[in-house]
Structures are given as C-alpha cells and as structure tokens.
Structure 1
Amino acid sequence: MTLTELRYVVAVARERHFGRAAEACFVSQPTLSVAIKKLEEELDVKIFERGATEISVTPLGEDIVRQAQAVIEQAGAIKEIAKRGKDPLAGALKLGIIYTIGPYLLPELVKGIIDRVPQMPLILQENFTVKLLEMLRTGELDCAIMAEPFPDAGLALAPLYDEPFMVAVPAGHPFAQRDSISAQELKTETMLLLGNGHCFRDQVLEVCPEFARFSSDAEGIRKSFEGSSLETIKHMVASGMGVTVVPVLSVPREPHPHLRFIPFEAPAPTRRVVLAWRKTFTRYEAIAALRNAVYECELNGVTRLT
C-alpha cells in the first residue's frame, strides 16, 4: 500500500469517474485503474462498484476512503512540520473563497500577502460554499473564506467581519434619492437574484422571503430573474430591468452613472464572513498571517471582528 494508491482512491471517490480522477492525478487512466485494482486485491475488499456509466463507493469503501484522506493529510503534516522548522510561512497556501467575496477582497488581499509574506504565495480557488467545504475536507484546500451559515463540517473558524447589505436600483428609480429602504418596500419590485448554489442568494431570500415563491402572479410580486454573478446582475439593474441586494464591499468606491446604492433601514441585514480551516491543519502561522492581511485591507463599510 502506498500514498500514491491512497491518493488515487480519494480522487476516484471524489470524481465518481476513473477518467476524471486520472486527469486530476496527472496520470493515465490505465495506470490509476491498475493501482486501485492492486490495492483492492491486497486488502481483499471491493472499494468501488463499477457500473456502466457511474462509479459508486461501497459501504466498506467509504470507511477506507475516509481513512485514506486522514493518512494523506497526516503525511502532508509531516512535511509541514519540517518546513516550520525552517520558516513557518514558507510554501504556498491553498485558499478557497466564495464567488460573492472573491472579486471584492482578493485584489487587495493578494497584494497585501505579496508585500507581507512573499514566501507564502496564495493558490486561489473560487467556488460555491458546498464545493469549498468538500475541498477542505479532502485536503485540496488549506483554508477558505466563506459567509455563515454553512453546514457544520468540524472546521476551525475565525470571524473576519460582518458585512451589511445594500439595495442597488437604477439611477432613475423612485428609490434612487432615498436615504434608506425597508425590506418590506422591495416586495413590489422586480428582484434580480443570483442563481441556485450561491449562498448569497439564500441570504437575500432571508431578507426578502416573499421572493422565495418565484411566482409571477404572487400577490405583490411581479417577477424574479436570476443571474450568474453580482456584476452581471448590477449591469442588468443599471439597464432598468429591476433592483437587487448586494453586499457592501461590492459597491464601487466611485459613483456609478447608472446605479444608486441605498442602505437598508436599521437594523440592516448583514452576513458574517469567516476564515475556515481543518482543525488538523498545522500551519498556524500561515492562518494568522492570512487573517492579518485581511485586516490590513480597507474593507469600507464592514464591522471588523477580533
């Protein structure tokens, strides 16, 4: 049994496909298939059920995959311990971040990391919360910046900041000159929302639960549209197609000629942004350096947490 074979097992369990697992491991499919078959013969168990179109993990295989992940992580920890003896911050840090935070935090954060700890380059992965949690669990990521709430995955968490929401409306909208807006007033508007999979969509629907019904003839609601990114939705709002709710860090620092951003009436809805990592991750200094770099960013309009 080798670490390489265990990595192949974890990859197949994640991808549910031998070809994609081989690509992820940078080997040919026959090489990966032979290695897994050898391991199954050595253990005298079947780890995977091979169907015509789908690969599934056997009940006993689930336990083997879980233990394989732990072994791979512990093997990596040995290398990290050795590195820490020389320089605790040496080596890349694999950071995940959700789509509705990345564009507004990463440019300044990456520059800050380069300036503060150039020996610790960031390897970045933007994705949905559920995917980032899976990548944390399997060791593909070291840490991730996400918004609560998310399923309890037994992770260590450090709160970074609380970020209020604002309403974005076209410059010619009747709300455009308002100092504040209530969530109740949005009931009669055409709301533009992010598509399924974005946690920010769910947070907006908590603020405006009426839009969860997605019915064009529901009382007080005309229609809801969905977009793939906050920037796409803001362009749609600027063209007069409706209104939306955005996190404050996505509000441009210079006035937009076709958009107005208006605060909610107090208490404004907010989301809590946190840094998450596996409790077994050993590079504590790297986590601290990343968190300090986040605090060095301007973060206009948010409440920093310590």
Structure 2
Amino acid sequence: MTITQLHYVLAVAEHQNFTKAAQKVFVTQPTLSMQIQKLEEELDVLIFDRSKKPIELTETGRKIVSQARNIVNESDRIKDIVDQQKGFVGGLFRLGVIPTVMPTLLPMFLNNFIKRYPKVKLKIEELHTEAIIEQLQDGHLDAAIAATPLDLPNIKEQVLYYEPFVGYIPQGHRLHRMEKIKVDDLDLDDILLLEDGHCFKDGILNLCKANRTPGENDHFQLESGSFETMVKLANEGLGMTLLPYLHTLDLKESEHANIRMFQEPNPAREVSLIYNKSELKMQIIEALRQTIAGVIKGAIAYQNVQIISPVHKK
C-alpha cells in the first residue's frame, strides 16, 4: 500500500469516474486503474463498484476512503513540518471566500499578500459557507474566510474582524428621518434580502428573529445575489436593505445620506479565517491572518458590537 495509491482512491471517490480522476492526479487512466486494482488485490476487497454508473464506493470502500483521507493528511503534515522548520512560506494554497466578503476584503489585502509572499500560489474560489465547510472537510480547501461562529468540531476559527450591519434607507422610507436605527424598528416585509444560501441573509433573519411572511399588500418578492441590485431597488422606493459595513465604502457619494448606523451595541457579523483541525500549512494561514489584520484595522474601528449568528435558527 502506498500514499500514491491512496491519492488515486480519493480522486476516484471524488469524481466517480476513472478518466476524470486520472486527469486530476496527472497520470494516465490505465496507470490509475492498475494501481487501484493492485491495492484492492492486496486488501482482498473491492473499493469501488464498477458496475454502477457513475462508479460508487462499496460499503468497505467508504470506510477505506475515510481512513485514506486521514493518512494522506498526516503524510502532508510531514512536508508541512519541514517547511515550517525551514521558515518556508510557499506552494499552492487553496482559499475559499464567501460571496459577501470577496468583493470588499479581497482588494484590501491581496496585492500586499502577493508582494510579501511571492512563493505562495493562491487559488481563490468564491463559495457559499455550506460548500466551504464540505471542501475543508474533504481536503479540497486549505482555509477559508467566512462568517462565524460556526461551532463545528472539525473546523478551527481565527477571528479577523467584526463588521457592523448598516441600514441603507432611502428618502421616503419611514426610517429615513432617524439618525440611528434600532433592531426593533426593522420590519422584514420591507427589507430587501439576499437569496438563500448567503449567510448574511441568515444573519438578518436571526437579527429580526422572524421569517419573511408575505402579506396581502405585497406587490412582489425578490431575493437577490447582489448588494448592488438591492441598493438600486431601494433607491427606486421598493424598500430598505441591510449591508455589511465595508460594502458602504463603495457607495456613491450621493447614496451616503441613506446610510443609517444602529444604536450601540451595533449588530455585527464576525468574519474569521477558518481551517481544518489538522492545521496543515499553518505558516501560510498565519501569513494571511497577519496581512489581513494589518489592513482591516484602519477600515473598521467599531468595538461595541453584538455578534449575530450566521446560521439561521428557525
């Protein structure tokens, strides 16, 4: 049994196809098939049911794949130990970022990080929290930036910053005249929301402690994937919306008059660097944390905050 064979098994388990798995691990399909067959012969079990389309794991195969992930992670740790001992910060690093953080935070730190750590090859992917958790647990991501706390047993969290919720309330709205708003002032029926899958929407639902309930006077229902769309609709008099603080920095000067902060403590989301408990590539994770901390302090100075859970509690 070899580590290489286990890598091949994990690739087939992921793609459920020998050809795609071979492409993933950069070998020919016959080579990959032969190595997996050798492993099956050595163990005297079938790992994959090849009669199914797509290929499926056998019951024993599922247990083998679970253990194979642990073994491959531990083998990666050996190289990681050597890299840390040498002070080497480099290599491929796969980072997931949730959509409501990507457009604001990434431009703030990415250029600095690339210049400081030119040997790191960052592969960044925009993903919803659910996909991030799955890919962290499967070893397809090294770390991610997401709203926390998630309170998952296999995921570690390092808080990067607290980002207040901000009301965007256009002229003509009942709350526009207020200098600061309270949570009790909010009515979900006139708040434009992000679509399902965004943890920021779940945070708003938690903040308001209610689900959206369409009423008789509703003329439309809209859930957008874009803060920009919601701001434009609010400007057209179709409601108000809530934004993460950093998104307000990119608003037009004329739109700043529509921003309303909450009375303290400010409801806020906690944004963290999250990673698997195996703690691989910690030197790069720490480099990311330090780089982000260096740029975020000047952008967000709010301290008296109330953290709103990103996990919707029905």
TM-score, normalization: structure 1?
Answer: 0.83
The DSSP-based 3-state class of the residue aligned with 1:158 is: strand
Q: Within 5 Å, which residues of 2 pair with 1:7-22? A: 7-16=7-16, 21-22=21-22
Conserved 8 A contact 1:216-1:222: no
Match of 1:40 in 2: 40
Q: 1:49 to 1:190 in 2, by over 3 A?
A: farther
Q: Does 1:275 align with 2:277?
A: no
- The AA in structure 1 aligned to 2:229 is T
1:152 Cα deviation from its structure 2 partner = 0.6
- Measure, in 2, the Cα distance between the counterparts of 1:174 and 1:109: 38
String of CA shifts for 1:133-171, please: whole Å, max 9, x gaps: 222222222221111132514223212222211112335
Q: Does 1:107 align with 2:104?
A: no
Consecutive unaligned residues of structure 1, counting only runs of 5 or more, are none
- Measure, in 2, the Cα distance between the counterparts of 1:33 and 1:239: 60
Count residues in correspondence.
Answer: 302
Match of 2:95 in 1: 95
- The AA in structure 2 aligned to 1:118 is P
1:253 Cα deviation from its structure 2 partner = 4.9
Conserved 8 A contact 2:97-2:126: yes
The DSSP-based 3-state class of the residue aligned with 1:269 is: strand
Match of 2:157 in 1: 157
Q: Within 5 Å, which residues of 2 pair with 1:251-266? A: 251-253=248-250, 255-258=252-255, 260-266=258-264
TM-score, normalization: structure 2?
Answer: 0.81
- Measure, in 2, the Cα distance between the counterparts of 1:29 and 1:243: 55
1:125 Cα deviation from its structure 2 partner = 1.8
Conserved 8 A contact 1:161-1:272: yes
Select the residue among 238, 241, 244 that pairs with 1:241: 238
Conserved 8 A contact 1:161-1:303: no
Q: Within 5 Å, which residues of 2 pair with 1:74-89? A: 74-89=74-89
- The AA in structure 2 aligned to 1:168 is Y
- The AA in structure 2 aligned to 1:225 is L
1:223 Cα deviation from its structure 2 partner = 5.7
Q: 1:14 to 1:97 in 2, by over 3 A?
A: same
1:38 Cα deviation from its structure 2 partner = 4.3
1:50 Cα deviation from its structure 2 partner = 5.1
String of CA shifts for 1:46-78, please: whole Å, max 9, x gaps: 333457555443332222111111222222222
The DSSP-based 3-state class of the residue aligned with 2:196 is: coil
Q: Percent identity?
A: 35
Match of 1:147 in 2: 147
Match of 2:312 in 1: none
- Measure, in 2, the Cα distance between the counterparts of 1:157 and 1:113: 20
1:222 Cα deviation from its structure 2 partner = 6.9
1:26 Cα deviation from its structure 2 partner = 4.9
Q: 1:110 to 1:6 in 2, by over 3 A?
A: same
Q: 1:59 to 1:153 in 2, by over 3 A?
A: farther
- Measure, in 2, the Cα distance between the counterparts of 1:53 and 1:151: 37
Q: 1:61 to 1:110 in 2, by over 3 A?
A: same
Match of 2:307 in 1: none
Q: 1:34 to 1:146 in 2, by over 3 A?
A: same
The DSSP-based 3-state class of the residue aligned with 2:91 is: coil
The DSSP-based 3-state class of the residue aligned with 1:196 is: coil
- Measure, in 2, the Cα distance between the counterparts of 1:49 and 1:30: 17
- The AA in structure 2 aligned to 1:94 is R
Consecutive unaligned residues of structure 2, counting only runs of 5 or more, are 304-314
